[in-house]
Structure 1
Amino acid sequence: MKKTEIIIVGSGVAALQLARRLQDQFYVMIITKDKIESGNSYLAQGGIAAPLGRKDSVRAHLKDTLEAGRYHQDEDSVKQLIVDGKRIVETLVDEGAPFDRNKDGSLSLGMEGAHCEHRILHSGGDQTGKYLVKHLLKSLSGDKVAFVQGEMVYELVKDEMGRCCGVKTKDKDDAIRYYYAPHVVLATGGIGGLYPSTSNHPAVTGDGMALAFLAGAKLSDMEFIQFHPTLLWSNGKTCGLISEAVRGEGALLLNDLGERIMEGVDPLMELAPRHIVAECIYKERQKGRNVYLDISRIKDFQEKFPSISTLCFNHQISIGEGRIPVSPGCHFMMGGIVTDRVGRTNIPGLYAIGEVACSGIHGANRLASNSLLEGLVYGERLGEYLIHNGVSHSSHIHSSCPSLKEGEPLSISFQPHALKKGMMDYVGIIRNEEGLLTQLRWLKEQPLTFHELIDFNSREEIHTYFMWIVSLLVTESALLRTESRGGHIRSDFPNEDNDSWLKRKMILQNKEGRLRVEYHEQNETKIYA
């Protein structure tokens, strides 16, 4: 492979869609710290939302998305996502992507929480992510797309003009490698691994957000974290995702007294927005009661949900008994690196797409199955932008990058499990000032600072350091937003405050080793610290 022109960090749907769009024009390198399959896209059970049904419309999908996000989004951005997404999904259908179909050959469109219409495309029942990743991989050329697996990007390299021009990695033996390119794209996913209960792959811990923050990129909406209501609960811990599509097929949420716990909570009952269902299950479990998905009304469950059936079998949960024990867990980050409509950040040469980015479309709570749609849309958009704007800096990239040097030694004095426990206890599904201050004090007591140049002995230490950075950003943001909205629930501020917070965003940035927070609302900017 010739000199790399575009580096993509991450290997999920957004990354693969971008590489697919670029491969005819540029030499692309995809770097992933584990294997290609070790990410949330590959694990995704849920499908892709698109208004393809005869009764459906862009307007209806837009309304559902805004409602789920509690109107914290940019409406024009959401509408364009759905318009572009519908076109892209129709293209995938035309090229033979393996979406499930009805007996008459028509697309099988499922229902999920907070949707007003059946508009969810699935593959393999509950294996959409796996099938979609494989479909995108098949379309990539080996001539112009190279994969580097098992290397962790731990630093973004910038030239003397402040432009991102490459990355530093460590392999599994902690050997350091350097890669240069005029364009670097972060597509590293979310932060689920910061919590002990999560649907995410354990490797997904916010690396891209930490990398961008250390390099001076802006982040926002870090307080908005979606906890999926239904993870399998077995032997005192969560063990994997039970897709919302199960409730879409008619499963009920019962406690161990046989009561429907969503009665009187929301008119949509089990199909209410995720933050409402997750909060309800959490409160039920806080009372000491177990919560179950009653699947007895679903015919041919194993055929419709093969991976969930296997998951239950592996954890000795009998599908035949008709009840699956569930508990909430961290699922999706609505916030992240601030980007424009094509994925550009405030750092020249640095881009972000997919869950790692904050593009203004998810608001305070993501609508179910809009995430794979986002990856497809922004992967294509950024590809179009780079194709039309070229790689003008490629001829000078090596000479303009600085000579690399090591940073000051830093040490980790805590174990990741201690951080995860604090995040779940104090920055989890329901938050309050006392708990948030407790976690923030603990985080700030650690002998760590924001250093762009990182000098750790091992990947494990870097990994933990990145977890500390992102946890601090989440906790600080959750403390500052004094309302409840979407995935951010404050017991001491239980209501939405539309007068103060509806469109208000906090922009977090690393300024000379210190966290700076700005409030942005329309054209107004206020500096907090």
Structure 2
Amino acid sequence: MEMGDVIIIGSGVAALQLATMLSHDKNVKILTKSHIKNANSYLAQGGIAAAIGDHDDTKKHLADTLQAGRFHNNEESVREILNEAPALISDFYEIFDKDQHGHLLLGQEGAHSVNRIVHSGGDATGKHIIEHLISKLTDNIEVEENIFAYELMIDHKQQRCVGVKAKDQSGITRYFYGDCIILATGGCGQLYPITSNAPTVTGDGIAMAYLAGAEIADMEFIQFHPTLLFKDGEAKGLISEAVRGEGAILVTGDGVPIMEGIHPLKDLAPRHVVSQTIYNYIENGHEVYLDIRSIKNFGKRFPFITANCEKNGIDLSEGKIPVVPGSHFLMGGIKTDIIGRTSIHGLFAIGEVACTGLHGANRLASNSLLEGLYQGKKLSQWINANFKKHPVPNIPEPCPSLSANNVSLPDVQVLKEMMMKRVGIVRSKELLEEQKHWLDQFHLHDVTHLDAYSIQDITRIFMYITASLITEAALCRTESRGGHFRSDFPFEDDQNWYKKIIIQKHKGEVAIKYEQIEAALVN
């Protein structure tokens, strides 16, 4: 039994922001399944959006966020987070790129109406923020790497989450107890064969929370980033939207611009529009490229992307980068309030694993690091003001003789291919029902006693559970909105679908309910 005041599972920007802002009298443990830097936040090339420019204000940022989110957002959450954005930026002022006069450089990305994106190191914003936060870790914070959290412990007498089970690399189960348990495990990009996500991002936190009985919301809304570097049949990394913000355009192999006439913003249209357009061209046998010839000093402006292209044999002197869309961001996740409180007492979720309503049906570029910084800061303030010790729970230790259930799962690559084919960029009732039937045969919602499984097998189980949540929600939503596109219901249905789909495991059964949301309007 290992005790702590605050247990944080994950090591991205939200997790580290929280840890560094908790009062130093708190005993904090950070558990991460890999290395502390092996997270989506570290890979983030894009920057942080904030209305700090001379010709910008929060109302414009709000309007862009709601428009990109197709008005599925929680407007109160959006206003609160965006109002806080300038102050959050100022906390990290020294690491952001500036002009010769010391003014922050502001870039533009898709669906933003003005330049409002701050960057660090050109296209290495996430890396620099994570390294800055790591440098601020204090002695009261203990980081354990290469430890895999797999089961939330619920004390039914206290009616609260009291800890988490985790396996070390030798497969030994360890118990971590705390008064505040925080999931900051990221999304689920690895459920698809082509993704910008780190290899560790497999939906663990969502599956754990679901199995513990927490409410899960908006799982149908998956953002596919339009431009992943594509070489030799594989994704080789992200090509930031900032490249299109600087003037690059999407073209076919013959040089035909593909976004002409598709959307008023052309290549800077919302991501779901651009991804669907590229997908359609690829399905019709075309290769798609980013034409970067209009960007001067590309190597200086985008050093990380340049190095990655060169490493993968892309000759940038030709001015074309081969791209495909891939899974990038989950707008849904564990249903929380704005600071991360879930439907289970003592359990919190922050960052991409949480669904606060900021992103709606489609995340506006560079709002995600912002959300992580906001939640980390506000949750730390709440814990500092409201923390109290609870009685040590009486949870039985795992039984060494427990054996694993006979769960037979296909290879993970099969799951990824099936998810892309049936629950990918373009969906339909027929494809979704095929996927649901295929997933249901494994009866993974009934899996219990994970102690006896290996880390690899638990990871596979979590991926299948998370895939089933996405499939179920996508089947329920009979319209197209944001990151969810149904070819059989290709239009938004405002009359019937201003509501969230919430899935919860209740008394061993899958329960689905609908929560009405107010239509988000810009005032």
Q: Distance in 2 between matches of 1:497 and 1:414?
A: 37
One-letter identity of the residue aligned with 1:257: D
Q: Distance in 2 between matches of 1:287 and 1:30?
A: 47
Give 3-state SS (helix, strand or coil) of 1:140's partner.
Answer: coil
Give 3-state SS (helix, strand or coil) of 1:499's partner.
Answer: coil
1:462 aligns with 2:454: no
Q: Distance in 2 between matches of 1:240 and 1:522?
A: 36
Q: Distance in 2 between matches of 1:60 and 1:240?
A: 31
| More moved, 98-107 vs 129-138 | 98-107
**4+ residue runs over 6 A deviation:** none
| More moved, 289-298 vs 169-178 | 169-178
1:208 aligns with 2:205: yes
One-letter identity of the residue aligned with 1:303: K
* Counterpart contact for 1:159–1:402, Cα < 8 Å: no
Summarize the alignment of residues 360-399 of structure 1 with structure 2, pairs less than 5 Å apart. 360-393=357-390, 396-397=391-392, 399=393
Could you tell me which residue of structure 2 aligns to residue 316 of structure 1?
313
1:114 aligns with 2:102: no
* Counterpart contact for 1:451–1:513, Cα < 8 Å: no
1:292 aligns with 2:289: yes
Give 3-state SS (helix, strand or coil) of 2:450's partner.
Answer: coil
Could you tell me which residue of structure 2 aligns to residue 434 of structure 1?
430
Shift of 1:9: 0.2
* Counterpart contact for 1:165–1:180, Cα < 8 Å: yes
* Counterpart contact for 1:220–1:335, Cα < 8 Å: yes
Shift of 1:336: 0.4
Calculate percent identity across the aligned residue pairs: 50
Could you tell me which residue of structure 2 aligns to residue 419 of structure 1?
415
Residue number among 169, 175, 178 corresponding to 2:175 in the alignment: 178
Q: Give the count of matched residue pairs.
A: 514
Shift of 1:403: 4.5
Shift of 1:400: 3.9
* Counterpart contact for 1:226–1:274, Cα < 8 Å: yes
Q: Distance in 2 between matches of 1:456 and 1:241?
A: 37
Could you tell me which residue of structure 2 aligns to residue 152 of structure 1?
148
Summarize the alignment of residues 56-455 of structure 1 with structure 2, pairs less than 5 Å apart. 56-93=56-93, 96=94, 98-141=95-138, 143-161=139-157, 162-393=159-390, 396-397=391-392, 399-405=393-399, 409-455=405-451
Q: Distance in 1 between matches of 2:306 and 2:101?
A: 26
Shift of 1:452: 4.9
Q: Distance in 2 between matches of 1:104 and 1:448?
A: 58
Pairwise CA RMSD: 1.4
* Counterpart contact for 2:181–2:347, Cα < 8 Å: yes
* Counterpart contact for 1:9–1:153, Cα < 8 Å: yes
Q: Distance in 2 between matches of 1:491 and 1:400?
A: 51
Q: Where does the alignment leave 5 or more consecutive residues of structure 2 unmatched?
A: 519-523
* Counterpart contact for 2:192–2:419, Cα < 8 Å: yes
One-letter identity of the residue aligned with 1:118: N
One-letter identity of the residue aligned with 1:368: A
Q: Distance in 2 between matches of 1:172 and 1:455?
A: 14
Give 3-state SS (helix, strand or coil) of 1:16's partner.
Answer: helix
TM-score, scaled relative to structure 2: 0.96
- Provide, for residues 367-416 of structure 1, a one-character-per-residue CA deviation record: whole Å limited to 9, x for no partner: 000000000000011111111101231xx22x444454558624233110
Q: Distance in 2 between matches of 1:209 and 1:410?
A: 23
- Provide, for residues 40-59 of structure 1, a one-character-per-residue CA deviation record: whole Å limited to 9, x for no partner: 00000000001111111011
One-letter identity of the residue aligned with 1:366: R
Could you tell me which residue of structure 1 aligns to residue 515 of structure 2?
520
Shift of 1:457: 3.0
- Residue 68 and residue 240 in structure 1: after superposition, are their counterparts in 2 closer, same or farther (change >3 A)? same
Q: Where does the alignment leave 5 or more consecutive residues of structure 1 unmatched?
A: 524-529
Could you tell me which residue of structure 2 aligns to residue 34 of structure 1?
34
One-letter identity of the residue aligned with 2:235: T
TM-score, scaled relative to structure 1: 0.95
